[in-house]
Amino acid sequence: MSIYQFLLTLVQTRSPEEVLQQFCTLFFDYRVNAENADAIEELSLLLAANNQQEFLGTLKRCCYILINNWETKRDPDCIQQLIDSFQCDRNFRAASSAKKARLHAWINTFRSSKDYEDLRFYTQKYCKCEVKEVSERHWSDRYTAYRLVAQYANETNSPEQRQAALTLSQTLKNKFKFDLAMYATRSQLATYRNKSLKNPTHLGENVLRIIKKIVLRKGYFNYANLANIFIRQTQDCQFKIFKEALQRYLFFALDSRPKMERFQEKIAQKMQEIYSDYEDDIIDKALYLRTCNRTIDFLTTESGKTPSDIFHYLWLESSPLTLVTLLLKIVLICPNARTHLETRIAELIEIHQNLPEEDCAWAINFFEIFKIAFAIYADNDVRYDLIRMKVENASPHSWFEETALDSYHIYSQCFEYWNAKAFRANGDRDFPESYLA
């Protein structure tokens, strides 16, 4: 398309100021010049055909073409100027022709649309996330990284929008991981005791206890090792056996309260229904992924419009950490399911976002713990350890006692890449009780 090629050529060869000027000349002034004749002709055809939907899609894609290129060149100010240009009154003065009047009406439609709101929020976050926090307009703004994953996963979006969403989502996740690691370590050091440290979560000082609970499983039976053992033991097994093993894996060393027995029964019933026609088949990669995705669905939302029954049940039982642990375990055995999971998380955020913060405190608590758990475990580029401080009369068996959490300090290390193969160092050892048993 001539409009796309026109802007792509400009953004790759001209200064940002020149590109912005040409963008405004094309879309706001609707004025031909020596360089934009082909683009103006194509825009005129859209106006003559009265095809508003195609115009809005074209305009949105053009914005993302510029954003992606400026992001690559580290020109965030230009991105903000692009978005601000839609709010400039001079662009919407009285039209001198029917086509120009239609163009201005369509521009107004775009700047009041969700597409523009997403675009504006994206650019504001990107431009300032490396300098200072943007004042939050709504509690759901804390979870933009997951809403962006949903944009990336939506194949109806343009390649440019999907790439922009993916890039920013990863930027926000990396920033949170780093901020969390720094806060967790520094908040326990004497040198920072009298200094004000910014907590990147909204859990207050309780975040340290939650991190300790998540990191608590150490040694050979940590989450990563358990995932590797499960993968090894379920290779080339029947699908029916795989589903039974998956249940044992998910609930291994999990909360054993009596109320959780009902929860396990619900999971077993759902698991039995998954692809029941394939139970005699040998598990393959496609069926493996589909099963993990379906398990994620009934733990979060199956319709994308309402929370699942199991999500609601855990809400009533006030067990956000249990739910987060199950979701983490699924992603550790099936990393390819992570995009699907984060899309479901984005849908849960959308489901709850019209509620006041105080009315969805449990869901927000779940989202916060989810962010923390996946920052710790999912990418293997930050390592957390618990270091036990000297405590008088401490029990030698108190590692798993909750009352002993205060006797441990958190130590974190950030890596560009933490080799997950280190978890397989003892890969030939047998699991004491097989998931397949």
* Per-residue model confidence as pLDDT tens digits over 163-220: 999 999 998 999 999 999 989 888 877 777 767 888 999 998 889 889 888 887 655 5
pLDDT for res 117: 84
How many angstroms separate the CA atoms of 201 and 175, rounded? 12
Tell me what percent of the residues of the chain surpass a pLDDT of 70.
83
Q: What is the mean pLDDT of residues 76-90?
A: 83
- In this predicted structure, the answer to whether residue 118 has a pLDDT above a threshold of 90 is no
Identify the three-state secondary structure at position 224: helix
In our burial notation (b when 16+ CB lie closer than 10 A, e otherwise), range 340-374 reads bbbbbbbbbbebbeeeeeeebebbbbbbbbbbbbb
Q: What is the DSSP string of 356-424?
A: -GGGGHHHHHHHHHHHHHHHHHTSSSEEEEEEEPP-TT--TTGGG-GGGGGGEEEEEEE-S---GGGGG
- In this predicted structure, the answer to whether residue 133 has a pLDDT above a threshold of 90 is no
pLDDT for res 132: 41
Q: What is the mean pLDDT of residues 76-94?
A: 77
> Would the pTM of this model clear 0.75, i.e. be above it?
yes
- In this predicted structure, the answer to whether residue 433 has a pLDDT above a threshold of 80 is no
pLDDT for res 429: 38
pLDDT for res 76: 80
* Per-residue model confidence as pLDDT tens digits over 236-262: 999 999 999 999 999 887 766 667 788
DSSP state of 283: P
367: Cβ contacts below 8 Å, ≥ 6 apart: 142, 143, 345, 348, 349
Which amino acid, one-letter code, is at 148? L
- Binned at pLDDT 50, 70 and 90, residue 425 comes out as very low
pLDDT for res 379: 77
Q: What is the mean pLDDT of residues 62-82?
A: 89
- Sequence ranges of the domains in the chain: 2-135, 205-424
Q: What is the DSSP string of 142-196?
A: GGHHHHHHHHHH-TTS-HHHHHHHHHHHHHHHHHHHHHHHHHHHHTTSGGGTTS-
Listed range (154-158, 260-264, 368-372) with the worst mean pLDDT = 260-264
pLDDT for res 72: 85
